[in-house]
Structure 1
Amino acid sequence: MITQNTISKVFETARVEEVIGDFVQLKKAGSNFKGLSPFSDERSPSFMVSPVKQIWKDFSSGKGGNAVTFLMEHEHFTYPEAIKYLAKKYNIEIEETEQSDEQREQANARESLYLVNAYANEYFQKTLHKTDPGKAIGYSYFKERGFNEDTIKKFNLGYSLDEWQAFTDDALGNGYQLEFLEKTGLTIVKEDKRFDRFKGRVMFPIHSMSGRILGFGGRILSNDKKAAKYLNSPESQVYHKSKILYGIYFAKQSIAKEDNCYLVEGYTDVIQFYQKGIKNVVASSGTALTPEQIRLVNRLTNNITVLFDGDAAGIRASIRGIDLILEQGMNVKVCTFPEGDDPDSFAKNNTLEELTLYLDTNAKDFIQYKASLLVKEANNDPIKKAETIREIVNSIAKIPDHIKKEIYIQECSKIMDISEDVLFSTLAQIDKKTFQEANKTYKQEQKAFDVIRQKEQPQKKIDIQYELERKIIEILLLYGNTSEEFEDLVLKENETTGDLELEPVIHKSRVFEKIYLDLQDDEMQFSNMSFKKLYYTLIDNLHQSEEFSTRSFINNLEQDLASEVTSILMDDEKYNLHDWERKNIITKDKNNTIAQLVTQTILSLRCYLIDQKVQEYQNESIVEGANTTSILEDVKDYVGLKMLLSRKLGKVVS
C-alpha cells in the first residue's frame, strides 16, 4: 500500500497540463488549454484542461477529473498505478507498506496480464545480459544491427532462450498463473503440453503511451524457413495491435515538440532512427495502418511523414493505406530511400546531419508524390492515365478541408496535364456518390433507430431544483471564501397600513456564510444526495480554512464526487473552445456580479420551493374532509411571500 505522505506529495507536485500533454497535443485557449478528445473520434477540439483549477473535462464523452483520474480513464490504471506513474514522472520516492496475500489476490484479471508482461520483460532482458546464450546470440545480433548498450536498455530489448519451456517454467516457479501466461500469449497450451511462444527469438517489448508493456514482437534468428521471421503477441485484453504504434511511448514528447511524426514499418527502423537522434518516429509493426493508430498520432500532431523502403513494389502496396490519413484531415508527406536502402540501413550508414538533410530534401507532399509515381506507371497509355487520374482524385476526395481539395486539384492538373474543370467534375461525381452512399447508410440506421425511439420514454422536463442546487455548489467552489456586500430585503410591517414591506439592509460577509445562513433560516434541504454530501463537505472545509483550494478539495474526494465537482467547475470553460473573444463576442464575467449571483440563486430556489409547497396544499384541498379554509389561508400567505420574493428577484436581475 502506498503511504498517504507519498500520495500527498504526488498531488502537490503533479501538473495536470504536463501529465495530459504527454498524451494529447494541447494548445493555449485563454487561461486554459484545449485539444482533441483522446476518448472519442473528433476533428474539432472538445477537450479542455485548466491549469488554474488543475482539472480537465472532455465535453464529447462527459469524462473529467484530475491528473490521476485521467491516467485511470486513458491508460486504465488502477489508483495505485496512477500514483506510481506520477511519482516516477516527478522523481518522488514511493513509500509503501507491505501488501497482504489477500490484497495481492484481489488484483483483477486485467492487472494480472500487465503483471505477467512486466515480469516477462524483465526475464527477457535478464536472459539477454546475464546468460551465455543471451550474450552469444541475442546480444551479438543487436550489436550487429548497430545498437549500442544505451539503446538496448532504453527499448528494453531482450532474448528468449531456444528452449521449449524455459520462460514458462521460470514464470510458474515465481508464482505466475498459467491462465494469464496463456492469455497474454507468452505461453501456448495444447492439451497437456505447454511451450514458449517466443522460443529462440530476440524480443522487442511493445509499450503503451504511458510505458506499460502490452505485448511483444519476437524475431527468429535461426534459418528455419517454416517459422515466421517476426512473431507478435496475439490479441488480448491489454494488447490490440490495431490501436497501438511501436515506439509511441518514446516518441510522444518529440512528436508534439517537432509537430511532425515519422511513420516507418519495423521495430529496428524506429530504434535506429532514435539512436541516431531522430526521436519523433513510430512503426505500424508490419500491420496495415488503422484509423485508431492514425488518431493516436493526431492527438500529438497534425503532420505525418511516411517513410518507404526503396522497393517500388512495396511502395505501391503501402501507398493505398495512406488515404486513411487524409480522411483524418492530417497533412501527409512521403519520403522514399534509395533502392536497396530502408530507414534502418540508411540511418545506420549516415550521420544525423546527412539523415536530416535527406528527409528535409526528399519528403514530398503525398498527393504530389502519388501523382508523380502514377504518371510514371501510366507510361503514356491513355487507359492507364485515365485510371491514374481517377485514383488521384479519389485520394483528394478523402480530404475534409475544401480549400486543400481545390489546391490539390490545381496541382494535379499541372502534373497530369489535364484541365481543372475535368478534375473538378470528377471530384464532384465522387463526392456525390460518397454522399449518396452515406445518406443511404444514414437512412437505414435511422429506420432502426426510429423503431428503438418509439419504445423510449418521452424526454423528462428540466429538474429546476437539481439545477439550482448544482449552481449553489458551483458558487461555493468558485467564490466560497470571497467577501461581498449583500443587500438583504428584510420583511417589516408598515406602522400606518399594517402591510408587510421589504426594507433594504446592507451587510458584508463571505459567500459561504451567506449561503449557509440563508439555507438555515429557511430550513432548506438538498434533494440530490451527491450535492447534499458536497455541500456539507464544502461548508466544513471553508469554515476550517481561509486558504480553500479546489485542487486539494478534489484530490481528497471520493471518485464519483470528484467527477461531479470537475463537471461543475469545467462547465463554463467549454465556451472557451469556441474562442468567442476572437469573434468579438465578449462573455460576462461572473466575478463582477458574485453578490447578485448568490442572491438570485437563493431567491430562485426559495420561489421554486414555495411553488412546490403551494402545489402540496392544492393537492390536500382535493382530499375529502380537508380543512379548506385553513389551507386557503396558508396558500394565500405563501403566494404573498412569493410575490415579495419575486419583487426582490426582479431588483437583483436589473
Structure 2
Amino acid sequence: MIHRTTIDNVFEAARVEEVIGDFVQLKKSGSNFKGLSPFTDERSPSFMVSPVKQIWKDFSSGKGGNVVAFLMEHEHFTYPEAIKYLARKYGIEIEETEQTSEQKEQADERESLYLVSEFAKTYFHNTLLKTEPGKAIGLSYFKERGFTDETIQKFELGYSPDQWDAFTSHAIQKGYKLEFLEKTGLSIVKEEKQFDRFKGRVMFPILSMSGRTLGFGGRILTSDKKAAKYLNSPESDIYHKSKVLYGIYLAKQSIAKEDNCYLVEGYTDVIQFHQRGIHNVVSSSGTALTADQIRLVNRLTKNITVLFDGDAAGLRASLRGVDLILEQGMNVKICTFPEGEDPDSFARSNSLEELTSYLEEKSQDFISFKASLLASEAKNDPIKKADTIRDMVVSISKIPDVIKREVYIKECSRIMDISEEVLFNTLAQLLQKDAKNTKKNDGQQPQQKAFDIVPSEKKETKKVDALYELERKIIELLLLYGNVEEEFEDLILETNEKGEIAFKPEIVKAKVFEKVFLDLQEDEIEFANEGFKVLYFEIINKLNQEQEFQIDTFVNELESDKASAITDILMDEERYVLHKWVEQEIYVKQKEHTIAQVVSETILNLRRFLVSQKINELSEEMKTQESDKRENGLQDIMDYITLKKVLSEKLNRVL
C-alpha cells in the first residue's frame, strides 16, 4: 500500500496540463487548454484541460476527472500504478508497506502481463551487459551497428540467450507463472515442454506512450534461413501490433515540440536517428501502417514525414499508407534516401547538420512525390499517364478538408498538364462513389434527388429533467463560488393590509454556501437525486470546515465516481470555449459578475418547481377524494398557486 503522504505529495506536485501534454497535443484556449480526444476518432477538438481546477473533460466520450483518472483511462493503470508513474515523473520518493501474498494474488491478469513483460525487459538487458554470451554476441552486434553505451541504455536493448528455456526457467524460479509467460508470448508451451520464443536473438523492447513494456521485437543473429529475421511478440491483452509505434515513448515530447513526426520502417532506423540527435521519429515495426497508429501520432502533431529506403522494393505499395494518413486529415511529406541507403545507414554516415539539411531539402509534398514517381513509370505511354493521374486524384479524394483538396487538384493540374475541370469532375465521381459505398455499408438509403419531397419523421424530443438540472446547478454554484461573500436580497413572506401574500425585501450579506444551506433548510428541501444529495452534504461540510476551499484538493479526495460527477459539472461551463465564440465577436457574460443573481434565481426556480409539483400532486389526489374533502384540497391548491405566482414575480425581478 502507498502511504497517504506520498499520495498527497504526488497530487501537490503533478500538473494535469503537463501530464496530459505528454500524450495529447494541447493548445492554449483562454485560461484552459484544448486538444483532440485521445479516446475517440475526431477532427474537431472536444478535449478540455483546466489548469486552475486541475481537471480534464472529454466531451466526445463523456470521460473526465483528475490527473490520476486520465492515466487510469488512457494507460489502463490501476490507481497505485498511476500514483507511482506520477511519483517517478516528479521525482517523489514512494513510501509503501509490503504487500501480503493475498494482495499479490488479487492483482488482475492484465497487470500480471505488464509485470512479466517488465521483468523480461530487465532480464534481457542484464543478460546483454553482464553475461559473457551477451557481451560476445548481443553487445558486439549493437556495437557493430554503431550504437553507443548511452543509446543501448536509453532504449534498454537486450539479448535472449541461445538456449531453449534459459529465460522461461529463470522467470519461473523468480515466481512468475507460466500462464502469463505464455500469454505474453515470451514462452511457448507445447504439451509438457516450454521454451523461449526469442532464443538467440537481440531484443528491442516495445513501450507504450507512457513507458510501459507491451512486447518485444527480436532479431536473429545466425544465418538460419528457416527462422524469421525479425520476430515480434504475438497479440495479447496488452500488446496490439496495429495500435503501437516503436519509439513513441521517447519521441512524444519532441514530436509535439517540433510539430512533425518522422515515420521509418525498422527499429534500428529509429535508434540511429535518435542517437544522431533527431528524436521525433517512430517506426511501424515492419508492419503495414494502420489507422490506429496514425491516430496515435495525430494526438501529438498534424504533420508526418514518411522516410523511404532509396532502393525500397514495392515503394508503390508503401504509398497506400500515405493515403491512409491523408484520410485522417493529416499533412504528409515524403523523403527518399540515395540508392543503397536507408535511414539507419544514412544517419550513421552523416552528421546531424547534414542529416537535418537533407531532410529539409529532399522532403516533398506527397502530390509532387507521387507525380514524379508515377510519371517516371508512365513515361510516354498515354494509358499509363491517365492511370497515374487517376491514382493521384484517388489520393486527393481521401483528404477530408475541402480547401486542401482544391489546392492539390490545382497542383496536380499544373504538374501533369491537364485541365482542372477534368480533375474536379473525376474527384466528384470518386467522392460520390465513396458516399454511396459508405451508405450501402451503413444500411442507409441512397441520396434523394434534388427537389424530391421527403416526409419528415417525427423525432421524440428528450424531456428535460428540470429537478435534476436545478440540483446539478446548486452543486456547481457551491463548487465554484461556495466561499464567495455576496449581498443577497432576502424576501420575507408576509400578508399585507389587503390580506394578500407578498414579499418584504431585506438585504443580507452571506457566503454563497450559507445562503444556499439556510434557504434549503428553511423550506425543508431535500435533494431528489441520491448522488447529488451525498455530494451536497460533503461540499457543505468541507466549506464549513475550511476557510480556503480548493477544488483540485477536494476532487482528489473523492471516490472515482463522485470525482467524475463533479468533473462533469465543473467542465460543462467550459464547453462554450470549444466554439470559438469570442473569435466570432460573441461575448459570453461571465457568471462571476452576477453570482448573487444566479444563486437567487436557481433557488427561486427550485422553489417554484417544487410548488408546481405539489399542485399537480394535490390535483391528482382530488380526483379520487369524496366531495366533502375536495373543498379543503381546493383551498390548498389555491394557496400554492398564489405562492407560485409570487415566486414567479420575484423571479422576474431577479432576471
CA distance in 2, matches of 1:460, 1:397: 38
Deviation string, structure 1 residues 212-257 (Cα, Å, up to 9, x no partner): 0000000000111000000000000000010010000000000000
CA distance in 1, matches of 2:382, 2:109: 60
2:476 corresponds in structure 1 to 474
User: Following TM superposition, by how much is the alpha carbon of 1:334 offset from its aligned partner in structure 2, in angstroms?
Assistant: 0.4
2:357 corresponds in structure 1 to 357
Q: Which amino acid aligns with 2:648?
A: S
CA distance in 2, matches of 1:327, 1:321: 10
User: Following TM superposition, by how much is the alpha carbon of 1:47 offset from its aligned partner in structure 2, in angstroms?
Assistant: 0.5
CA distance in 1, matches of 2:443, 2:201: 52
2:464 corresponds in structure 1 to 462
Secondary structure of the corresponding residue to residue 525 of structure 2:
coil
1:629 corresponds in structure 2 to 631
CA distance in 1, matches of 2:501, 2:533: 33
Secondary structure of the corresponding residue to residue 314 of structure 2:
helix
User: Following TM superposition, by how much is the alpha carbon of 1:286 offset from its aligned partner in structure 2, in angstroms?
Assistant: 0.6
User: Following TM superposition, by how much is the alpha carbon of 1:444 offset from its aligned partner in structure 2, in angstroms?
Assistant: 4.0
Q: Which amino acid aligns with 2:488?
A: F
User: Following TM superposition, by how much is the alpha carbon of 1:435 offset from its aligned partner in structure 2, in angstroms?
Assistant: 1.9
CA distance in 2, matches of 1:320, 1:86: 39
CA distance in 2, matches of 1:491, 1:396: 71
CA distance in 2, matches of 1:69, 1:8: 15
Matches within 5 A, 1:253-292: 253-292=253-292
1:597 aligns with 2:598: yes
Secondary structure of the corresponding residue to residue 627 of structure 1:
helix
Deviation string, structure 1 residues 10-67 (Cα, Å, up to 9, x no partner): 1011000000000000011111111000000001000011111111000000000111
2:509 corresponds in structure 1 to 508
User: Following TM superposition, by how much is the alpha carbon of 1:412 offset from its aligned partner in structure 2, in angstroms?
Assistant: 1.3
1:370 corresponds in structure 2 to 370
Change (3 A) 1:312 1:187: closer
Bigger mean CA deviation after superposition, 224-233 or 427-436: 427-436
User: Following TM superposition, by how much is the alpha carbon of 1:413 offset from its aligned partner in structure 2, in angstroms?
Assistant: 1.6
User: Following TM superposition, by how much is the alpha carbon of 1:460 offset from its aligned partner in structure 2, in angstroms?
Assistant: 5.2
CA distance in 2, matches of 1:413, 1:622: 79
Q: Number of aligned pairs?
A: 643
2:608 corresponds in structure 1 to 607
CA distance in 2, matches of 1:312, 1:132: 37
Bigger mean CA deviation after superposition, 626-635 or 292-301: 626-635
CA distance in 2, matches of 1:45, 1:445: 30
Indicate conservation of the 8 Å contact 2:611/2:640, yes or no: yes
Bigger mean CA deviation after superposition, 631-640 or 231-240: 631-640
User: Following TM superposition, by how much is the alpha carbon of 1:355 offset from its aligned partner in structure 2, in angstroms?
Assistant: 0.5
CA distance in 1, matches of 2:460, 2:179: 48
From 483, 486, 491, give the equivalent of 1:484.
486
Q: Which amino acid aligns with 2:128?
A: L
Q: Which amino acid aligns with 1:434?
A: D
Secondary structure of the corresponding residue to residue 502 of structure 1:
strand
Q: Which amino acid aligns with 1:273?
A: F
User: Following TM superposition, by how much is the alpha carbon of 1:443 offset from its aligned partner in structure 2, in angstroms?
Assistant: 3.7
1:566 aligns with 2:536: no
Give me the CA root mean square deviation.
1.4
Deviation string, structure 1 residues 286-308 (Cα, Å, up to 9, x no partner): 11100100010011000000000
1:103 corresponds in structure 2 to 103
1:113 corresponds in structure 2 to 113
Q: Which amino acid aligns with 1:348?
A: R
Matches within 5 A, 1:205-284: 205-284=205-284
2:452 corresponds in structure 1 to none
CA distance in 1, matches of 2:411, 2:386: 17
Q: TM-score, normalised by structure 2?
A: 0.97
Indicate conservation of the 8 Å contact 2:439/2:445, yes or no: no
Secondary structure of the corresponding residue to residue 334 of structure 1:
strand
Matches within 5 A, 1:67-78: 67-78=67-78
Secondary structure of the corresponding residue to residue 304 of structure 1:
strand
Note the residue ranges of structure 2 that are not aligned, 5 or more in a row.
Answer: 447-458
2:82 corresponds in structure 1 to 82
CA distance in 2, matches of 1:25, 1:507: 48
1:122 corresponds in structure 2 to 122
2:316 corresponds in structure 1 to 316
Bigger mean CA deviation after superposition, 470-479 or 498-507: 498-507
User: Following TM superposition, by how much is the alpha carbon of 1:312 offset from its aligned partner in structure 2, in angstroms?
Assistant: 4.5
Bigger mean CA deviation after superposition, 627-636 or 395-404: 627-636
Bigger mean CA deviation after superposition, 612-621 or 74-83: 612-621
CA distance in 1, matches of 2:182, 2:573: 49
CA distance in 2, matches of 1:352, 1:566: 46
1:166 corresponds in structure 2 to 166
1:454 corresponds in structure 2 to none
Secondary structure of the corresponding residue to residue 319 of structure 2:
helix
User: Following TM superposition, by how much is the alpha carbon of 1:89 offset from its aligned partner in structure 2, in angstroms?
Assistant: 0.6
Note the residue ranges of structure 1 that are not aligned, 5 or more in a row.
Answer: 447-456
Percentage identity across paired residues of the two chains: 68
